């Protein structure tokens, strides 16, 4: 029997799961709670302060990894969850989910490389 | 010892006579410390000799008395009446065709089990005169939990993926493949991968985890499958990025 090619998407899914479990809660806390509440000062995430930091190649690379892996994780998770909920047409759902993830990947690449 | 009257609602089905399965009720005088299997034996001996079900050891070793008890895949020899109400519903294991009453057809599982080669395939054959294959306690510990599988197939009855995709090789067979892959004396992983790493193998698993929850021997098939997914993903990339490694 032929070996499956699922490792491509599953590898991204597994890596994304690890990244989003460890990194996203911290990011959500910082960007969603701490900064709006002013814990880090009023201009913590102001454009002037954050732009030079984010546009450094290494920070861009890390951000690319975190965003893209999380998106691929989400795409595969949505595909599996819909399947678990009993929705048929797995091939179609997979295609749509991965196409969206691919578009987000390109978008992230251009957004970060354009800085 | 106190007596307790239990109402058993048992699924009956004789494919030669019945158009479809039906429930039959039995009122059973039970001892407090009985298990569901004892109640079924009482029915068979005293109330209705035509009731069919599998059992053998009565001590969670043989793996033949699995059934749905109040909707949960359970070994009936391990299902103590004190943990249930006065009405208990007993059905054959879900996701399998019914042979008769509580007996299910296991042919499909048996053929899948065979396909994953759940036996030692030695790295190299050595004559008996060269002595035994030695193994350290640490090497044994790596796979020991998976040797505890008794092929009761409760995990197949619990697995929603197996319910949706009958071709899925399924939890127990995959966990046993993993058991031999992890064995230091074994060299058969590449052969097993042909089945394990196929679409119908580990990749049909969506990690619901119900298999590990219902396992009466605390084997963790879900964990085994995830470990095999990681190993197979590493294989997949190595096969493509370092083709000279392939034999």
| Pairwise CA distance, residues B54 & B23, whole Å | 18
Cβ pair B225, A14 in contact under 8 A: no
Kindly state whether residues B47 and B125 are assigned to the same domain.
Answer: no
Kindly state whether residues B116 and B151 are assigned to the same domain.
Answer: yes
Kindly state whether residues B52 and B67 are assigned to the same domain.
Answer: yes
Per-residue pLDDT of chain A (115 residues; tens, 9 = 90+): 688 888 999 999 999 999 999 999 999 999 999 999 989 888 888 889 889 998 999 999 999 999 999 999 999 999 999 988 888 888 899 999 999 999 999 999 999 987 6
| Pairwise CA distance, residues A89 & A54, whole Å | 40
pLDDT at A64: 95
* Tokens linked to B240: 């493509």
Per-residue pLDDT of chain B (247 residues; tens, 9 = 90+): 678 999 999 999 999 999 999 999 999 999 999 999 999 999 999 999 999 999 999 999 999 999 999 999 999 999 999 999 999 999 999 999 999 999 999 999 999 999 999 999 998 888 989 988 899 999 999 999 999 999 999 999 999 999 999 999 999 999 999 999 999 999 999 999 999 999 999 999 989 999 999 999 999 999 999 999 999 999 999 988 988 877 5
Tell which of B53, B83, B104 closes a domain: B104
Contact B197 A4 (CB under 8 A): yes
Instruction: Give Cβ neighbours of residue B174 (< 8 Å, ≥ 6 apart).
Output: B116, B196, B201, B202, B205, B221, B224, B225, B228
Instruction: Give Cβ neighbours of residue A51 (< 8 Å, ≥ 6 apart).
Output: A115
B203 contacts on A by Cβ (under 8 Å): 4, 6, 10
The answer to whether A85 faces chain B, any CB pair under 8 Å, is no
pLDDT at B1: 60
Kindly state whether residues B88 and B112 are assigned to the same domain.
Answer: no
pLDDT at A110: 93
The CATH fold assigned to A10-113 is 3 helical TM bundles of succinate and fumarate reductases (1.20.1300)
Q: Which of B11, B31, B158 is nearest to B88 (CA)?
A: B11
Kindly state whether residues B166 and B60 are assigned to the same domain.
Answer: no
B198 contacts on A by Cβ (under 8 Å): 1-4
CATH of the domain at B72: 3.10.20.30
Kindly state whether residues B37 and B148 are assigned to the same domain.
Answer: no
Cβ pair B91, B102 in contact under 8 A: yes
* Exposure b/e, B132-161, CB count within 10 A at least 16 = b: eeeeeeeeeeebebbeebbbbbbbbbbbeb
Cβ pair B88, B69 in contact under 8 A: yes
Cβ pair B68, B84 in contact under 8 A: no
- pLDDT tens for A76-101 read 999 999 988 888 888 899 999 999 99
Tell which of B86, B104, B122 closes a domain: B104
Domain holding B9, by residue range, is 3-104
Tell which of B52, B87, B104 closes a domain: B104
Contact B203 A80 (CB under 8 A): no
Contact B197 A3 (CB under 8 A): yes
Cβ pair B247, A28 in contact under 8 A: no
The interface predicted TM-score (ipTM) is: 0.78
From A10, which residue of chain B is nearest by alpha-carbon distance? B233
- State the total domains in chain B: 2
| SS3 assignment, position B45 | helix
Kindly state whether residues B131 and B64 are assigned to the same domain.
Answer: no
Instruction: Give Cβ neighbours of residue B197 (< 8 Å, ≥ 6 apart).
Output: A3, A4, B203, B228, B232, B235, B236
- pLDDT tens for B47-58 read 999 999 999 999
Nearest Cα of chain B lies from the Cα of A2 at a distance, in angstroms, of 6
CB nearest to B236's CB, from A1, A7, A86: A7
Kindly state whether residues B98 and B112 are assigned to the same domain.
Answer: no
Residue B123: CB atoms within 10 Å: 12
Cβ pair B66, B74 in contact under 8 A: yes
CB nearest to A2's CB, from B164, B198, B237: B198
Kindly state whether residues B70 and B140 are assigned to the same domain.
Answer: no
Cβ pair B11, B101 in contact under 8 A: yes
- pLDDT tens for B140-175 read 999 999 999 999 999 999 999 999 999 999 999 999
pLDDT at B76: 98
Contact B233 A10 (CB under 8 A): yes
The answer to whether A80 faces chain B, any CB pair under 8 Å, is yes
């Amino acid at each position: 029997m032929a070996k499956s090619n699922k490792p491509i998407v599953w590898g991204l899914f597994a890596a994304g799961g690890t990244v989003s479990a460890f990194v996203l809660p911290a990011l959500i806390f910082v960007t969603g709670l701490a900064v709006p509440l002013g814990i880090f000062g009023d201009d913590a995430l102001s454009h002037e302060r954050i732009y030079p930091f984010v546009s450094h190649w290494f920070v861009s690379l890390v951000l690319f990894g975190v965003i893209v892996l999380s998106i691929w994780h989400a795409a595969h998770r949505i595909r599996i969850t819909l399947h678990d909920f009993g929705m048929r047409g797995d091939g179609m759902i997979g295609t749509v989910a991965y196409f969206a993830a691919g578009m987000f990947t390109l978008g992230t690449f251009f957004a970060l490389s354009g800085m | 010892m106190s007596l307790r009257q239990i109402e058993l609602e048992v699924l009956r089905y004789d494919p030669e006579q019945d158009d479809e399965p039906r429930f039959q009720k039995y009122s059973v005088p039970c001892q407090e410390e009985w298990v569901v299997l004892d109640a079924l034996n009482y029915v068979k001996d005293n109330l209705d000799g035509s009731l069919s079900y599998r059992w053998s050891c009565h001590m969670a070793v043989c793996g033949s008395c699995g059934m749905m008890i109040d909707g949960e895949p359970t070994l009936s020899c391990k299902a103590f009446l004190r943990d249930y109400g006065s009405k208990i519903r007993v059905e054959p294991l879900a996701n399998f065709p019914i042979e008769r009453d509580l007996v299910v057809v296991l042919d499909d599982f048996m053929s899948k089990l065979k396909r994953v080669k759940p036996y030692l395939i030695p790295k190299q054959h050595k004559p008996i005169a060269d002595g035994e294959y030695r193994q350290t306690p640490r090497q044994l510990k790596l796979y020991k939990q998976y040797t505890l599988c008794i092929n009761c197939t409760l995990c197949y009855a619990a697995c929603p993926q197996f319910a949706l995709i009958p071709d899925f090789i399924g939890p127990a067979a995959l966990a046993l493949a993993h058991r031999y892959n992890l064995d230091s004396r074994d060299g058969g992983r590449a052969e097993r991968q042909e089945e394990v790493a196929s679409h119908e193998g580990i990749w049909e698993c969506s990690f619901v985890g119900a298999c590990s929850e219902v396992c009466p021997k605390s084997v963790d098939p879900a964990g085994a499958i995830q470990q095999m997914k990681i190993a197979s993903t590493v294989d997949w990339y190595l096969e493509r990025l370092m083709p000279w490694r392939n034999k």
